[in-house]
Structure 1
Amino acid sequence: MRILVLGGTAWLGRTVVQHALDTGHDVTCVARGSDVPTGARLVRTDRDRDDALTGVARERWDAVVDVSRTPEHVRRAARDLEPVADRYVLVSTVSVYASQAERGADEHAAVLEPSDDPADYGAAKVACERAVLDAFGPERASVARAGLVGGPGDHTGRSGYWPWRFARAAVTGRPVVVPARTDRPTSVIDVRDLAGWLVGAAEGGRAGVHDVPGEVVTLGQHLEAARAAAGGDVPVVALSDEVLLARGVAPWAGERSLPLWIPDDDHQGMNDRPADRARAAGLARRPLVETLVDTLAWEQLQPVHPHGAGLSDDDEAAVRDAG
C-alpha cells in the first residue's frame, strides 16, 4: 500500500511511519521537519500554506494518516486529497467529549462545539473530525479518539515518571510520595499499540469513529505496575488529596505534579472509556507493565529528570516532610 503520513517527524507520527514500513508499506511523509525513519520518503512543506499539498495531491494514495490538531490544516488536506486517496485516518482524542464526568461512556456521547483554535484542544479536534467525515464520509474515514498516549519517547513524563520514581527510590532508599486514594481510574495507550491500530485502519476495515484508549486500571494498579517495572520493593508515603493540594502538588501533569492523579471527580470519565468498538475491530494492547518497563529503559537514557511532569527529588522531599 501507498500511505501518506501528514507528519512523521515527531513521536506518534514517527511510530506510525516505522510500523507501516515494518509491515511492508510504501510510506511518504509530509512535514516541516527533516528527520523521518529510514525507508520513508520525505516531502518538506509548511501546512500553513494553502498549496502545501499540491505536489502529493498529484499522486494516488491508498490511505492518508493525519495527526494534526489544526482544523485549517485538516480541512485543506481533506479538500486536496479526497479525490486521490481511498481512506483518511485521523488521530483525534477522548478530549472531544463534552463531559468527562461520565464513566464508561462510548462513542455516542455528546462532543464539544467545534473551534478553529488549535489551543482549544478538544474542540479543535471536533472541527478536524467534522472536516474529514464531511469530505470522505463515514465509510472512507477512520477517526481514532485516542486516550492518554504513553510509552518510550514520552517527553510529557506522564507515563515515565512513576517507573522512574520507583527505580530512583530503590537507589536512594527514600520513600515515594503517592496519593492515598488509589481507586480512581487511569488509562494509558502504548504509542506502539496506537500506531498499530492506525496502520490497521489505513489498511481498511476500521471506518467510522472509535475510542482508542488503554486498558482501564485503578491508580493503585498503575502504581503497582510501575513498581514492578522498576524491580524494587520500596516504601511509599501516602498523602490525601487535601494534603497534596495544600503542599502545592499539581494533579495530572506539568511542573511539581503527580502524573495521572486527578482528584476532581468531574474528570474521571476521561480515563474510563471501555473501547469495546475498537477491541471488536482488532485493537491489541500490550500489558501495562511491559509499556512501563520499556518506558523506564528510555527514561534512564534521558539527561534530565523529571521532565514534563512529576516531582524532583527536592520537591518530593519537601512535600513528604512538610507539616
Structure 2
Amino acid sequence: MTNVLVLGGTAWLSGLIATRWVDSGARVTCLARGTHAVPKGAALVRADRDDADPYDELHGEWDEIVDVSRHVGHARGAVAALGGRAARWTYVSSTSVYADEATPGADETAATVAPARDGDEYEYGAHKVASEEVVRSLGERARIVRPGLIVGPGDPSDRFGYWAAAFDRAADGPVLVPSVEGRAAQVIDIDDLVSFLVAGDSSGTVNAVGDVHDLGHVLDAFRTATAHDGEVITADDGWLEARGVEFWSGDRSLPLWLPMDMGGFMTRSNAAYRAAGGILTPLETTIARIVEDERARGVNRERRAGLTRDEESALLETL
C-alpha cells in the first residue's frame, strides 16, 4: 500500500489532494493544526508548523510527501526533518515565481524572482522560489508543480467564481466588466490539478496551467451559463482605476482584470504539463460546476474578491 503524507491536508487544495490519495487506495496521513476536518479515511497528526518540533509525532517512511506551504521556513523544516524518509517529494509551487509577467507563452525555463531570504518582508512568489530551492536539494526525488490560477467549487479566493455570482445575481440587470481587448485568462480546474499531483508521473518542474482563452470568451461563457440576459457594460481601465477599482483580487476589485503590461501572467506554456499526461477539463464544464457552487454558497454572500452588487450598481449609475 502506498504510504502518503500530506503536509496540511485539511484546507481546500490540500484536502482534495488527501481525499484523492485516499480514494486511490493509499494510506494517508495529514499533518495540520486541525482547524478543518481531516478527509474521511485519512489520519490526522495535529501540529503547528510554526512550532519548534512539529514533526516529532511522524514515524516511518513515505512513498510520497506532498507540501503546499507558502513559507520557506516551513519547507526548510519539513525537508530537514523528513527528507531522508521520502521516496518522492512533491512541492506545489506557483506560476507567481516568474519574474517576467509580460512575455506570452513563457515556459518553465523562464527566470524567477529572487528567493526570499531570512529577514525579508514576506512576498509570496519569493517564498515559493526559496521553497523550491529547498526541495530541489532532494535531487531526483523532488517534483515541483507550478499551478496557475486554481479554480473550482469551494474556491476560498472567490476570484473566478466572482463572475458566476456577478452575472447570476444581476438576472436581467446590467453587469460591469472591464475592457477585454487584448486580455486573456488561463486557469486550472482543481480536479485536473489534483489528478496530476496524485496520478501524474512527472519529474522536475512543470507548469500546471490550462489553455489560454480570450478574457471576453471567458466572460461570455459565464454569462451563458447563468442565462444572464441583461446589458453588459464595459468600463475602460482609466475610469475604473480613478474610482478605486482594483485589479485581479481583493475588496472592490474586478477579478481576472490585469494591467496591460502583464500580458504574460496568464498566458504561460502548458506544453510540459500536457506532455506529462496532464488533462484539462473543458472551460464550459468547469464554469458550469462553479455556477452551481456559487448558487449553493450564495451569490450575494460576503466575498474575498470582487465588487458587491451595491458597489457595482453605484459604479454603473455614474458610467
Check conservation: 2:209, 2:273, Cα contact below 8 A.
Answer: no
Of 110, 127, 130, which aligns to 1:127?
130
For 1:179 and 1:54, locate their aligned partners in 2 and report how far apart those are by CA, in whole Å.
Answer: 51
Check conservation: 1:69, 1:118, Cα contact below 8 A.
Answer: no
Which residue of the partner structure matches residue 64 of structure 1?
65
For 2:78 and 2:244, locate their aligned partners in 1 and report how far apart those are by CA, in whole Å.
Answer: 44
Q: Deviations over 1:260-301 (max 9, x none)?
A: 011x22322110012110110011111122222212222223
Matches within 5 A, 1:201-280: 201=200, 205-262=201-258, 264-280=259-275
For 2:163 and 2:27, locate their aligned partners in 1 and report how far apart those are by CA, in whole Å.
Answer: 37
For 1:307 and 1:42, locate their aligned partners in 2 and report how far apart those are by CA, in whole Å.
Answer: 30
Q: How far 1:7 moved relative to its partner?
A: 0.3
Of 283, 287, 291, which aligns to 2:282?
287
SS in structure 2 opposite 1:42?
Answer: strand
Q: RMSD of the alignment, in Å? A: 1.6
Which residue of the partner structure matches residue 178 of structure 1?
177
Of 285, 310, 315, which aligns to 1:314?
310
Check conservation: 1:181, 1:241, Cα contact below 8 A.
Answer: no
Check conservation: 1:145, 1:212, Cα contact below 8 A.
Answer: yes
Check conservation: 1:161, 1:306, Cα contact below 8 A.
Answer: no
Check conservation: 2:4, 2:63, Cα contact below 8 A.
Answer: yes
Q: Which amino acid aligns with 1:287?
A: P
For 1:15 and 1:142, locate their aligned partners in 2 and report how far apart those are by CA, in whole Å.
Answer: 19
Which residue of the partner structure matches residue 194 of structure 1?
193
Q: Deviations over 1:220-249 (max 9, x none)?
A: 011012112213333201111122222222
TM-score, normalised on structure 1? Answer: 0.93
Q: Which amino acid aligns with 1:51?
A: D
TM-score, normalised on structure 2? Answer: 0.94
Which residue of the partner structure matches residue 89 of structure 1?
90
Q: Deviations over 1:169-201 (max 9, x none)?
A: 22xx21111113343111111122111111124
Structure 1: gaps of 5 or more residues? none
For 1:5 and 1:147, locate their aligned partners in 2 and report how far apart those are by CA, in whole Å.
Answer: 21
For 2:212 and 2:14, locate their aligned partners in 1 and report how far apart those are by CA, in whole Å.
Answer: 24
Q: How far 1:306 moved relative to its partner?
A: 5.0
Structure 2: gaps of 5 or more residues? none
Check conservation: 1:8, 1:16, Cα contact below 8 A.
Answer: yes
For 2:11 and 2:189, locate their aligned partners in 1 and report how far apart those are by CA, in whole Å.
Answer: 15
For 1:29 and 1:54, locate their aligned partners in 2 and report how far apart those are by CA, in whole Å.
Answer: 14
Q: How far 1:118 moved relative to its partner?
A: 7.9
For 1:83 and 1:255, locate their aligned partners in 2 and report how far apart those are by CA, in whole Å.
Answer: 43
For 2:29 and 2:180, locate their aligned partners in 1 and report how far apart those are by CA, in whole Å.
Answer: 47
For 1:119 and 1:36, locate their aligned partners in 2 and report how far apart those are by CA, in whole Å.
Answer: 29
